[in-house]
């Protein structure tokens, strides 16, 4: 979708910066910058904003060959972001009856070609409407049948749907999910009956067939769980200016480590590193690092690389 970013409260007027956004788009760009081959599948409107979305993805080396331009007059989705205080940002969505809400299984399934290693999707897609929810389920089912790893980031958006509606739609996806990513407050949405503690919730998910659970803890880092391993990783200490997109950057880093065959502690370290790059610059994806930039945070503040 397109993104309009304000420099102050929207009610005060002023200028807006135009870019693109979307959780899956952010992850796709993050992985492409880290040197991986990435394919983005979705539906945009036959409008200038749709052209901007596809043009930006292509400029970031993301394959858009399976992207669909809507022919029924539906517009490209839009969001508005406005800073309110410090790093607190308010986001308004305009996605009802958008092109993305009409994405169909016929749009997505042809992209699951031989050689695909990971299907990544978020809980935002099924929140857009019945067709999008049907498509998400069809995609994870086809991926699981083809032996493709399924990564699901819950990414709950309370302005799009309620927690109960989210749980009802996400539970069928979880039955076909290998890697589940969630923040601490999102984890209960993955369970039909959340338990009293995080460890109990994680054990329940692993018992249901999820292979790996990663819990994002913001400024306190993250924890990864499998049936046989638990690993913690502290966040990188940086001065944050914009937290929007940090979770998507985290996922891009984690999947990058997975695709390179790294162990869990290494995957988590790369994830918190890419998230740190995201929060130190404004925009959802603009500050994401290339692979040769990952070591920049190891230099002292104020260092000039010559």
Q: Which residues are catalytic?
A: 248
* DSSP E strands, the chain: 2-6, 16-20, 43-44, 68-69, 78-85, 88-94, 118-122, 149-153, 179-183, 212-216, 222-225, 230-233
Q: Which residues contact 230 (CB under 8 A, 6 or more apart)?
A: 223, 224
Tally Cβ neighbours within 10 Å of residue 14.
10
Give CA angle at 256 (274, 258), nearest 5°: 130
- Token pair of 300 as six digits: 């002292």
The string of DSSP codes covering 165-224 is HHHHHHHHHHTT-SEEEEETTTGGGG-SS--SSHHHHHHHHHHTT-SEEEEE-GGG-EEE
- Distance between CA atoms of 191 and 174, rounded to whole angstroms? 9
- DSSP 8-state class, residue 151: E
276-286: buried (b, 16+ CB within 10 Å) or exposed (e) per residue? bbbbbebbbbe
272 neighbors 221 (Cβ within 8 angstroms):
yes
Helix 23-33 to helix 48-59 angle (10° resolution) is 30
The string of DSSP codes covering 219-254 is GG-EEEE-SS-EEEEPPP----S--TTHHHHHHHHH
């Amino acid at each position: 979708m397109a993104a309009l970013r304000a420099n102050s409260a929207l009610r005060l007027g002023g200028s807006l910066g135009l870019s693109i956004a979307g959780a899956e788009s952010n992850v796709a760009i993050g992985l492409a910058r880290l040197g991986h081959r990435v394919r983005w599948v979705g539906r945009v409107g036959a409008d200038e904003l749709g052209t901007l979305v596809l043009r930006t993805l292509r400029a970031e080396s993301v394959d858009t060959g399976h992207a669909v331009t809507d022919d029924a007059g539906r517009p490209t989705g839009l969001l508005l972001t406005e800073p309110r205080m410090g790093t607190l940002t308010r986001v308004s969505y305009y996605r009802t009856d958008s092109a993305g809400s009409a994405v169909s299984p016929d749009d997505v399934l042809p992209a699951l070609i031989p050689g695909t290693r990971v299907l990544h999707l978020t809980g935002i897609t099924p929140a857009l409407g019945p067709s999008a929810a049907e498509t998400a389920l069809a995609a994870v089912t086809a991926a699981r049948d083809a032996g493709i790893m399924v990564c699901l980031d819950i990414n709950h958006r309370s302005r799009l749907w309620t927690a109960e509606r989210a749980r009802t739609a996400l539970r069928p996806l979880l039955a076909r999910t290998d890697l589940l990513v969630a923040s601490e407050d999102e984890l209960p949405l993955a369970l039909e009956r959340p338990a009293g503690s995080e460890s109990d919730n994680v054990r329940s998910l692993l018992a249901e067939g999820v292979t790996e659970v990663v819990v994002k803890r913001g400024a306190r880092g993250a924890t990864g769980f499998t049936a046989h391993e638990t690993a913690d990783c502290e966040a990188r200490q940086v001065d944050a200016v914009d937290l929007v997109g940090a979770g998507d950057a985290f996922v891009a880093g984690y999947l990058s480590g997975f695709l390179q065959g790294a162990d869990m502690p290494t995957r988590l370290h790369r994830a918190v590193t890419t998230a740190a790059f995201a929060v130190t610059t404004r925009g959802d994806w603009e500050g994401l690092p290339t692979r040769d930039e990952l070591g920049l945070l190891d230099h002292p503040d104020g260092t000039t690389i010559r």
